[in-house]
Structure 1
Amino acid sequence: MAQPRASSEGEQPRASDLSFNPRFRTLCLTGECAMGVEKGSAFLLKVGNGNVPATYETVAGMRTTQLSVNGEAVNITSKDSGGWRELLSGAGVRSVSVSAAGIFTGSAAEIRVRNHALAGTIEHYELSFESGERMRGRFLATRLDYAGDYNGERNYALSLESSGAVVSE
């Protein structure tokens, strides 16, 4: 996150120069903010083609995508903690969970995801954002659901769990 600029040369910003942006939970200089609003339709899930290095193809038909970064806390509280819980920084198991849902289109990427889910194999996936940021890692498809009403489209829901490090580029 960008550091607030000083009010004038060498000065720290005054509290009156800062505002809290609740949507992004960030402090910003009044009238400025380091994050821009991004379209949800530009939040894409892509599956690797099995090659090294992987090339990625967008999973078609998606309507919703959700990403959760998870971390287990390691409690190091002792009698010397003064009654307050203390946690160990940088410890614990980290993971990334992805869920997505959309309309089945029969694309090659959807078929590849289905095949990995059926075989229980881990594959490279990429999540990309409108800003150009990407998150890449190896994931296991832990759930793949298909549904369809008699007068509606066939749709799917997908859950992925990371295996190993997920990197942000």
Structure 2
Amino acid sequence: MSAQKGKDLLLKVDSDGAGNFQTVAGLRARTLAFNAATVDITNTESAGQWRELLAGAGVKSARISGNGVFKDAQSDEIVRGYFFGGTQANWQVIVPDFGTVEGPFQVTTLEYAGQHDGEMTFELSLESAGQLNFTAV
């Protein structure tokens, strides 16, 4: 993957449950992180007492975080409603020249901030809440 503009990474949500994804926010900074926990199966017979891991075991998770400005009042309302309702929804993260990650996420952090001479900003975190699918470009 060659160098890409950070602004091209998009965060979208299926707000009507019908597979119609819409961009919800003007994110100025964003991060997509994947994690896979390991299961240690080291025992007294492990060669040289080196750690051994159980292949394919453990919990996989993903986290999306970002900050910016909401693109409109409807976007703000959708995300705020998901946070206060503890709602899980299908989200898409589109990474240019890489692919699309799609699946259920829950809004786990929603922070608002603002300067007296600037716009209102927010910080947002989403945690995966089920199996994610990846579609390569």
Deviation at 1:132, TM superposition (A): 6.0
Corresponding position: 1:83 with 2:49: yes
**Greater relative CO, 1 or 2 (CA 8 Å, sep 6+):** 2
TM-score (norm 1): 0.75
User: Whose strand fraction is larger, Structure 1's or Structure 2's?
Assistant: 2
Alignment-derived partner of residue 65 in structure 1: 30
Alignment-derived partner of residue 87 in structure 2: 121
Distance in structure 1 (CA, Å) of the matches to 2:54 and 2:82? 36
Distance in structure 2 (CA, Å) of the matches to 1:107 and 1:137? 24
Conserved 8 A contact 1:59-1:109 = yes
Secondary structure of the structure 2 residue equivalent to 1:61: strand
Deviation at 1:46, TM superposition (A): 0.5
User: Which residues in structure 2 correspond to 1:90-101 (within 5 Å)?
Assistant: 90-101=56-67
Q: 2:109 aligns with which of 143, 148, 157?
A: 143
User: Which residue identity is paired with 1:130?
Assistant: P
In structure 2, the CA distance between the partners of 1:111 and 1:132, relative to structure 1 (3 Å rule), is farther
Distance in structure 1 (CA, Å) of the matches to 2:45 and 2:104? 41
User: Which residue identity is paired with 2:33?
Assistant: S
**Structure index of larger Rg:** 1
Alignment-derived partner of residue 155 in structure 1: 121
Q: 1:48 aligns with which of 4, 10, 14?
A: 14
TM-score (norm 2): 0.91
Distance in structure 2 (CA, Å) of the matches to 1:86 and 1:132? 32
User: Which residue identity is paired with 1:70?
Assistant: N
Q: Is there any run of 5+ residues in structure 1 with no aligned partner, and where?
A: 1-34
Superposed CA offset, 1:90-144 (max 9, x none): 1001110110100234342332111101111101100001226100010010010
User: Which residue identity is paired with 2:101?
Assistant: M
The sequence identity of aligned pairs, in percent, is: 38
RMSD between aligned residues:
1.3
